[in-house]
Amino acid sequence: MIKLIQICIILTAMCCISASAQDTKQLASTGSVNSHETSIPVNAQILIQAYPELNLMYVDNHIVFQDGTSIIYDDGIQKDYLNVMDHSDIDDMFSMDYLSEGNPGYLQDAGRSRCEDFFKKVYGENAKAVKQNLNDVKWFGTTVKFNRINGAAKQLQKVADEIQSNYPEYIPYMKSSGTFYWRKVRGSERLSSHSYGIAIDIAVKQSDYWRWGNPKAKETDEIGYKNRIPPKIAEIFEKHGFIWGGRWYHYDTMHFEYRPEILKMHQEKSKP
């Protein structure tokens, strides 16, 4: 009897995986997000589409990788702002809308939360692993190191090429002050996106950072907004898959981070 029950459980799991795999293949082929005709949650669909090289699957509340390992999608825990920042699951990363215009509202920090398990799995679990995935990107007379996974380095190169060819007036803003650097976000215990080699800081002298102007402020305090970076620069980066720290309530206007899933979410929510 016990063996029969075990067989039934295995067959049920196989059916779930098969159905999810079929939904994933359909999702990849159509390239569209569907909130009705699939077993995959909308935000999981967005994630799968935003990381096509990984061939991700959604199975039983987990994101499954090609090697069979998986990460829980939604831990089911209701979180306040700080816990979303510090203990984000995959679904939490989509909890805030990314705004493409206007000043961000109170605690509006879309993309500032990251599921560390996911990013370590994708880009490298430690500094040594990330370094093995870094490529050189030609960057206005120099080279910068950037992660090649999911086309991140290629997309940064497209940013440089477009500005070089079409917007030479913005070249003075393009001096890099850093890409890969394994470290925690200042004043927190969570890893910076620079740790994964998917972020670049530019134009420090023309930039503003919320902690510079509010050195004693806590993350939940109300602060004013500052920016001196031309919005067109942000639009160019966004076109190629990068979010801008100038769209955050906790503004970091030098910061651009490769996050195609956040921009894909914004595109989906912007559809009529």
Residues 115 and 21 reside in one and the same domain: no
Say yes or no: 130 and 47 in one domain.
no
Residue 90 belongs to a domain: no
To the nearest whole number, what is the mean pLDDT of the chain? 90
Are the C-beta atoms of residues 23 and 40 closer than 8 Å to each other?
Answer: yes
Residue 184 — pLDDT band, cuts 50, 70, 90? confident
pLDDT at 34 over 90: no
Please write the tens of the pLDDT for every residue from 145-171: 999 999 999 999 999 999 999 999 999
Cβ(246)–Cβ(234) below 8 Å: yes
User: Is the residue at 91 inside a domain?
Assistant: no
* Residue 3 pLDDT greater than 80, yes or no: no
- Give CA–CA dist 123/100, Å, rounded: 26
Q: Among 72, 95, 130, where does a domain finish?
A: 72
pLDDT class of 172 with cuts at 50, 70, 90: very high
Q: DSSP secondary-structure letter at 98?
A: P
Give domain status of residue 82, yes or no: no
Q: What is the pLDDT of residue 12?
A: 40
* CATH code of residue 163: 3.30.1380
The confidence band for 185, taking pLDDT boundaries of 50, 70 and 90, is confident
State the pLDDT at residue 13: 41
* Phi (first) and psi of residue 47, to 5 degrees: -60, -45
- Answer yes or no: is 54 within a domain: yes
pTM of the predicted model, to two decimals?
0.88
254 shares a domain with 135: yes
Q: Are residues 114 and 27 in the same domain?
A: no
Q: Are residues 213 and 156 in the same domain?
A: yes
Answer yes or no: is pLDDT of 1 > 70. no
Mean pLDDT of all residues in 121-149: 98
Report the interhelical angle of 42-50 vs 260-270 (nearest 10°).
130
Whether 183 contacts 194, CB under 8 Å: yes
Rounded mean pLDDT, 102-124? 97
Range of the domain at 12: 2-72
Compute, in degrees rounded to 10, the torsion defined by CA atoms 48, 51, 53, 56: -30
Residue 50 shares a structural domain with residue 145? no
In this structure, are 262 and 215 located in the same domain?
A: yes
**198 or 16, which is more confident?**
198
In a domain, 78, yes or no: no
Instruction: Give the H or E element holding residue 252.
Output: none
* CA distances from residue 160 to 20, 131, 250 in whole angstroms, order as listed: 39, 22, 26
Same domain, 162 and 235: yes
Split into its structural domains, the chain has a count of 2
252 lies in some domain: yes
Q: Are residues 67 and 156 in the same domain?
A: no
Does residue 68 sit in the same domain as residue 109? no
| Residue at a domain's end among 55, 72, 89 | 72
| Co-location of 169 and 219 in the same domain | yes
Claim to verify: residue 111 and residue 224 sit in the same structural domain: yes
Boundary of a domain, candidates 72, 89, 113: 72
The runs of H, that is alpha helices, within the chain are 2-30, 42-50, 81-86, 116-123, 127-131, 152-166, 210-213, 231-239, 260-270
User: Does residue 79 fall inside a structural domain?
Assistant: no
Q: What is the pLDDT of residue 228?
A: 97
Q: Each residue of 206-240: pLDDT tens digit?
A: 999 999 999 999 999 999 999 999 999 999 999 99
Side by side, the strands of the sheet bearing 57-59 are 57-59, 62-64, 70-72
Is residue 48 a part of any domain in this protein?
A: yes
The percent helix, strand, coil of the chain (3-state, each to 5) is 45, 15, 40
Choose between 206 and 36: higher pLDDT.
Answer: 206
pLDDT at residue number 195: 97
